[in-house]
């Protein structure tokens, strides 16, 4: 017996916000590693301060939340439209 799996299809706006999330989160991780390396090995590299790190994490969290809310709204509207279609056939 096969289990029906939902195919996850992202809209263009969801892909864009996921890209913003991935980009800002990766930039945060790279910044943390550069900061640690510059302290540990005495490198003289540029890295963001606490405020910069906060802004990167803010962008990442807002993008991820926006994606989740948009996907949830899309699924709810699809299920509502599907239920309306079933009720109209009765």
Phi-psi region of 29 (alpha: psi -120 to 50; beta: other; left: phi over 0): alpha
Position 55 in a domain: yes
Confidence class of residue 85 from pLDDT cuts 50, 70 and 90? Answer: low
Q: Helix, strand, or coil here: 4?
A: coil
Confidence class of residue 3 from pLDDT cuts 50, 70 and 90? Answer: low
pLDDT at 90: 52
pLDDT tens digits for range 39-71:
899 988 888 889 999 999 999 999 999 999 999
Burial of 57 from C-beta contacts in 10 A (0-12 / 13-18 / 19+): middle
Number of domains in the chain: 1
C-alpha–C-alpha distance, residues 70 and 46, integer Å:
36
Burial of 63 from C-beta contacts in 10 A (0-12 / 13-18 / 19+): buried
pTM, to two decimals: 0.74
- What domain range is 64 assigned to? 14-85
pLDDT tens digits for range 12-27:
999 999 999 999 999 9
pLDDT at 81: 75
Position 9 in a domain: no
Position 90 in a domain: no
């Amino acid at each position: 017996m096969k289990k029906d799996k939902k195919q996850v299809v992202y809209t263009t706006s969801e892909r864009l916000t996921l890209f913003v999330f991935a980009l800002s989160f990766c930039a945060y991780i790279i910044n943390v590693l550069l900061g640690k390396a510059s302290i540990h090995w005495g490198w003289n590299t540029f890295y963001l301060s606490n405020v910069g790190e906060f802004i990167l994490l803010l962008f990442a969290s807002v993008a991820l939340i926006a994606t989740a809310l948009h996907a949830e709204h899309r699924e709810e509207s699809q299920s509502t439209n599907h239920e309306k279609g079933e009720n109209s056939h009765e």
